[in-house]
Amino acid sequence: MRPESISLKQRRELVIRWSDGQEMRYSAGLLRRECPCAHCLERKQAPAEPLPVLQPQEAAPVEITGVQPVGNYAYNICFSDGHTTGIYTLEYLRRLGRQEPPPG
């Protein structure tokens, strides 16, 4: 499966139309929560801090600030909270996506 088109909707949603005709949507929040980088995976496994102190950029709703291809197998997605190390493979994005019903 390959993306035929990729677009951002108001920096809050990534939309991918796949080669099989499926259109899938990804909210910025979902992509940030499910970041596959080593740091984020380690954080998910560590016990949560009882009362974490949030920086202002962490408290604001997250937005997608950039999407760059990585070779022909993935995309690097950057976020408004400064996080830039997530590499989302096409396979991973396909699994995460929420299918949109065909226009009707």
What ranges do the domains of the chain cover?
3-45+60-99
**Which range has the worst mean pLDDT, 5-9, 56-60, 83-87?**
56-60
Query: How many Cβ atoms sit within 10 Å of the Cβ of residue 72?
Result: 7
- Spell out the residues 6+ positions from residue 30 whose beta carbon is closer than 8 angstroms to its own: 96
Report, as an integer, the average pLDDT of 52-60: 65
DSSP code of residue 61: P
Over pLDDT 90: what percentage of the chain? 68
Q: Which pTM does this prediction carry?
A: 0.82
CA dihedral 94, 100, 102, 104 (to 10 degrees): 180
CATH topology of domain 3-45+60-99: NE0471 N-terminal domain-like (3.30.2020)
For residue 6, report the phi and psi dihedrals to the nearest 5 degrees.
Answer: -140, 135
What pLDDT digit, counting tens, does each position of 64-86 carry? 999 999 999 999 999 999 999 99
Task: Report residue 64 as tokens.
Answer: 């997608």
